[in-house]
Amino acid sequence: MANLVKKINFNCPECDQNHEVEVYEQKTQSLIEGTIVEHKETYYYCPIEDEEFIPAKVMNQNLLEARDAYRINIGRLTSTEIRNIRKMYGLSQKEFANLLGWGDVTVQRYESKTIQDETYDQKMKLVFENPQIALTELEKHAQKFDTERYLEIYQKITQLIKKKSLKYHKEQIIYASYVDFNKPSDSNGQTRLNLDKVNNVIHYLAHCSSRLYKVKLMKLLWYSDSLFYKRFDKSITGLVYKHLPLGAVPIAHEDILDISSDYINIHEEFYEDYIAYRIESKNPIDLSSLSRQEIDVLNEVIQKFDKLGSKKISEYMHEEEAYLKTHDNQIIPFSLAGKIREF
Ligand SMILES: [Zn+2]
């Protein structure tokens, strides 16, 4: 089954003229290191000659896809992941290789063709998880860098160390606030708190909403978890929500917004007698921790409420049984939240 991806003008080798060719993608199998892997393959089609062909550049891309499929199968970093780790430290391919004490072209090879062996893979994973290790490596291989560049990289790494440890501490604060909800229960929608999911959900809601403010985000979170609970008897994120005058708000919501700063920007907007916090998504959207069903529910919530402001949603929420049957500051149980009206 091939899918037509696009049509492009191309210097066609089949009929030797520049014309519109069709670009297709299909699933295929390749033999890598003695193992058959399934992966995506791209090919071109010339409608004039009725011939399929693969330009050299695309052929390389297909090979990369095959090797990455193999890497995923055996739990190694893909070429893209390697590139992302390197970019996280702001390094060129040669610099990243030198930082790790490897030959100049090692990283370039890993990003383009060669599959890294396990020792090299482990080292890159460690450097990704712990910038402190990157710092140790930099100090060990300092002679590979000129002084100016050394200082730049040193600074970049120490920034990352600070950022990571701050995030770690904030996460600990959030987990401490949820210590009474460590087990699946009616308070957390039978789901333990999962901060990766919280981040991905906030990011997605921010990404897909046309205008999103902090107060509205809290309500969208509650409706997302509640609707998912209604459908599947469990919530998405494991957040625990309290009944507050303006609506449902998750416990530790300020800290939760803090750790989302990799995904969203919060702008303060000043009005006569209040400040509004507008939320904008940044970076390419990351949905890695969410299932198809979860994303479908998020889409339903966005569709239902996108055109409504915080006040309108608040009024709507006040009519829910979950809200009528709880009082100020009380935790809203999911047995009630799951009874929200159908959209
Ligand atoms: Zn042609």
| Rounded-to-integer distance, Cα 280 and Cα 265, Å | 5
The DSSP 8-state label assigned to residue 339 in this structure reads T
| Per-residue pLDDT in tens (0 to 9) along the chain, 343 residues | 789 999 999 999 999 999 999 999 999 999 999 999 999 999 999 999 999 999 999 999 999 999 999 999 999 999 999 999 999 999 999 999 999 999 999 999 999 889 999 999 999 999 999 999 999 999 999 999 999 999 999 999 999 999 888 888 999 999 999 999 999 999 999 999 999 999 999 999 999 998 899 999 999 999 999 999 999 999 999 999 999 998 899 999 999 999 888 889 999 988 888 888 999 998 778 788 899 999 999 999 999 999 998 889 999 999 999 999 999 999 999 999 999 999 8
CA of 236 to the centre of ligand 1 (A): 50
Per the CB < 8 A criterion, the answer to whether 19 and 6 are in contact is no
CA of 40 to the centre of ligand 1 (A): 23
pLDDT value for 173: 95
User: Can you tell me which residue has the tokens 């009082």?
Assistant: 327
CA of 65 to the centre of ligand 1 (A): 26
248 by Cβ neighbours in 10 Å (0-12 / 13-18 / 19+) ranks as buried
| Rounded-to-integer distance, Cα 142 and Cα 158, Å | 15
Ion ligand 1 residues within 5 Å by Cβ:
12, 14-15, 46, 48
Give Dmax (Cα) for the chain: 76
Cβ count within 10 A of residue 279: 21
Strands (DSSP E) found in the chain = 2-12, 17-32, 35-46, 51-53, 241-244, 247-250, 264-270, 275-281
CA of 24 to the centre of ligand 1 (A): 15
Pick the closest to residue 174 from 255, 261, 239 (CA basis): 255
Per the CB < 8 A criterion, the answer to whether 43 and 24 are in contact is yes
Per the CB < 8 A criterion, the answer to whether 217 and 279 are in contact is yes
CA of 41 to the centre of ligand 1 (A): 20
CA of 20 to the centre of ligand 1 (A): 8
CA of 10 to the centre of ligand 1 (A): 8
CA of 157 to the centre of ligand 1 (A): 51
CA of 28 to the centre of ligand 1 (A): 24
What's the topology of domain 79-158? 434 Repressor (Amino-terminal Domain) (1.10.260)
CA of 205 to the centre of ligand 1 (A): 44
Per the CB < 8 A criterion, the answer to whether 221 and 237 are in contact is yes
Stated pTM of the model: 0.69
CA of 43 to the centre of ligand 1 (A): 13
8 by Cβ neighbours in 10 Å (0-12 / 13-18 / 19+) ranks as exposed
> Cα 135 to the chain's mean position, in Å?
26
CA of 14 to the centre of ligand 1 (A): 5
Pick the closest to residue 86 from 140, 136, 141, 123 (CA basis): 123
As beta bridge partners, residue 141 has none
CA of 19 to the centre of ligand 1 (A): 7
CA of 15 to the centre of ligand 1 (A): 4
Question: How far apart, in Å, are the Cα atoms of 94 and each of 78, 90, 104, 105?
Answer: 18, 12, 5, 6
User: Can you tell me which residue has the tokens 């950022």?
Assistant: 163
Q: What ranges do the domains of the chain cover?
A: 2-73, 79-158, 183-337
User: Can you tell me which residue has the tokens 């402190």?
Assistant: 132
CA of 55 to the centre of ligand 1 (A): 12
CA of 9 to the centre of ligand 1 (A): 10
CA of 53 to the centre of ligand 1 (A): 10
CA of 67 to the centre of ligand 1 (A): 30
pLDDT value for 4: 94
Residue 47, helix vs strand vs coil: coil
CA of 8 to the centre of ligand 1 (A): 12
CA of 343 to the centre of ligand 1 (A): 51
Kindly state the tokens that stand for 293.
Answer: 């069903």
CA of 303 to the centre of ligand 1 (A): 44
| Rounded-to-integer distance, Cα 300 and Cα 143, Å | 56
